[in-house]
Amino acid sequence: MTNRISRRFFLAGAGALAGLSVGPALAAAPETSLRPVARGADLFKLSQTPVDELIAKARLNGTVGFAVSDVTTGAVLEEHGAETGLPPASVAKALTASYALETLGPGFHFETRILATGGVVEGVVQGDLILAGGGDPTLDTDALAGLAAKLSEAGVTGVKGRFLVWGGALPEMRDIDPLQPDHVGYNPAVSGLNLNYNRVHFEWRRAGGAYDVTMEARSAAYRPAVNMARMEVVPRSLPVYTYVDRGGRDEWTVAKGALGDGGARWLPVRKPVLYAGEVFQSLAKAYAISLSPPELVTDLPEGRLMATHESAPLRVILRDMLKWSTNLTAEVVGLTASRARMGATPANLRASADEMNRWARETLGLSDIALVDHSGLGEDSRISAAEMMMALGKLRKRLGLKPLLKAFPMRDAKRRVIEDHPLKVHAKTGTLNFVSGLAGFIDLPDGTELVFAIFTADHDRRAELSDAERENPEGGSAWNIRAKTLQQGLIERWGALYSG
């Protein structure tokens, strides 16, 4: 990248250039003056790489849209293709976080409950035991173990009836985006009862000519085996994975030729309610509470509350969501906020996203926003850089969004982090195949605060991808690096032009 801004240069300000030696011809008064001579900081600003040159050098072969403004005054400082609607990818999560904060409040908690019907006599539940989800996207195996422990502490030793599992607090969907490969862990199922971000831990080790394979609901303290998701190693090279829903189970195969000596990865769970029920059954057994295999119910029976698990406050969940860009969390908090606004459970992600779009139009003044989900995973979502910039500027003052955004590191020409860079950036990134986005805030050395949005997309290149290429397309990583280089080039340009 050209014209990297050093800390020494930036902090020295105009004096860094004003102190440069000049030849006698330049020192003398000119005979004719057509305009003021640029000196010091002005010369520095004039030396910045033009926008068109930055874009051409990035070689993205698609569409670029960006906009930047002053947070205090609202004045738009620079824009290019700013009115063009482009996929925001995970940048959409910044809007989802704000939507959930305003609708549910920062102190909102998700609750997972254990209910019992028919009363409890001498430690035995006379009716059914129910694991009832409240939509918690952060529920993990450790938390389920805590519920089993509370049930034991309540004196429960047995259950006469069935073990029921309910996830009807939110609509259940097999995946977030049906166009993604079956095996990618960032595209799990969504429901009102989620566990371990609806992923199962698949691990393999070579043992002679065969492989030892495990499928576990792994967490910090526990790793119970899972039977509802099964893996078979088959003698082939491609495809690496296949998936089929067979007999109410997630049935996977993996190509033996792709495994090597050993490894592990998270695979998505397509039946999250059954998954959580099976894991809880296993954990309850460790506390000498015998449960029958879990049965799904669509209507939640009334029962006595036996134990409950409460999530962290919503603000903490959203901070972590923006840090790790967890798609499941975004969809669940978005669905929960839409349910609160609508007074009814939305039918699906698109219906919930429509409600969030309506909120953005009503409260932020956006006119062309058209998101299809809450995570940005769906490629059909559209928002312009101008509207994203405007929304973030308003949310900065309205909800205090900025502290939830992760610090965005500035890098040198070799992509190494510059620890003491004078520009401080807090932003949300977004990446899909041949789509890249970045939006957030820039603190300049003189105290000026900017808000910006940058979107880039090569729709033609993305449309050419086969299903097999979608996880790791040829040229995708290099394209993404060039997009990020453009983003940093623009940020450095704005830092030079609008500081001081």
Residue 445, pLDDT > 60, answer yes
Residue 27, pLDDT > 70, answer no
CA distance 199 to 269: 5
Q: Using an 8 Å Cβ cutoff, are 148 and 289 in contact?
A: yes
Q: What pLDDT is recorded for position 20?
A: 33
Residue 145, pLDDT > 50, answer yes
Tokens of 335: 């669905």
Query: For all residues of the chain together, what is the average pLDDT?
Result: 92
Q: pLDDT per residue over 332-383, tens digit each?
A: 999 999 999 999 999 999 999 999 999 999 999 999 999 999 999 999 999 9
The type of residue at 233 is V
Q: pLDDT per residue over 95-110, tens digit each?
A: 999 999 999 999 999 9
DSSP one-letter string for 162-177: -EEEE-TTS--BS-S-
Residue 10, pLDDT > 60, answer no
DSSP one-letter string for 401-466: -GGGSEEE--B-TTS-B-TT-S-EEEEEEEEETTEEEEEEEEE-TTS-EEEEEEEEE-HHHHHT--
- Between residues 48 and 120, which one has the greater pLDDT? 120
Please compute, for residue 424, the number of CA atoms within 13 A of its CA located in the half-sphere on the CB side: 12
Task: Of 104, 105, 135, 108, give the one whose Cα is nearest residue 331.
Answer: 135
Q: pLDDT per residue over 152-196, tens digit each?
A: 999 999 999 999 999 999 999 999 999 999 999 999 999 999 999
47 pLDDT band, cuts 50/70/90, is: confident
Q: Using an 8 Å Cβ cutoff, are 156 and 218 in contact?
A: no
Q: Where do the structural domains in the chain lie, given as residue ranges?
A: 47-105+314-498, 111-171+274-310, 197-263
- Between residues 37 and 340, which one has the greater pLDDT? 340
470 pLDDT band, cuts 50/70/90, is: confident
The secondary structure of residue 382, as a DSSP letter, is: B
Residue 36, pLDDT > 70, answer no
Q: Using an 8 Å Cβ cutoff, are 67 and 386 in contact?
A: yes
Q: Provide mean pLDDT across the span 296-306.
A: 97
Residue 124, pLDDT > 50, answer yes
Third-level CATH fold of 47-105+314-498: Beta-lactamase (3.40.710)
Task: Provide φ and ψ at 111, rounded to 5°.
Answer: -130, 130
Which is it for strands 124-125 and 120-121: parallel, antiparallel or unpaired? antiparallel
Residue 21, pLDDT > 70, answer no
Q: Provide mean pLDDT across the span 253-272.
A: 97
Tokens of 14: 């105009």
Query: Is domain 111-171+274-310 annotated with CATH 2.60.40.10?
Result: no
The sign of the dihedral angle between the CA atoms of 381, 386, 388, 390 is negative
Q: Provide mean pLDDT across the span 203-210.
A: 93
Residue 15, pLDDT > 60, answer no
Q: What pLDDT is recorded for position 8?
A: 44
Helices 327-342 & 349-364 angle (0-180, nearest 10): 70
